[in-house]
Amino acid sequence: MTDELLVETLLNYGSLEEVHDLFELVGLQNVAAIFWGMTGRKKLNYFPEIHNYFDMYFKKYAS
């Protein structure tokens, strides 16, 4: 499983606890880099509200 797939799956379908565990294991900066590094079709795999939320979250806490 690639890091991109793991991040996408947990951000889209994971519970708050699972997302928190992801940030602890991979690192907030690394998750943000993976999230922002997705382009084209991969970026469209996020639910629009999830993409919007984490885009704002990472801009505030991972910049």
Given this model, what pLDDT does residue 18 score?
97
Given this model, what pLDDT does residue 11 score?
96
Tell me the residue length of the chain: 63
CA torsion sign for 55, 60, 61, 63 is: positive
Given this model, what pLDDT does residue 2 score?
85
* Phi and psi at residue 11, to the nearest 5°: -70, -40
Give me the number of domains the chain comprises: 1
| CA angle at 31 for the pair 39 and 9, rounded to the nearest 5° | 70
Q: Structure pTM?
A: 0.88
10-residue averages of pLDDT along the chain (63 residues): 88 97 96 88 84 96 90
Q: Which domain holds residue 52?
A: 3-61
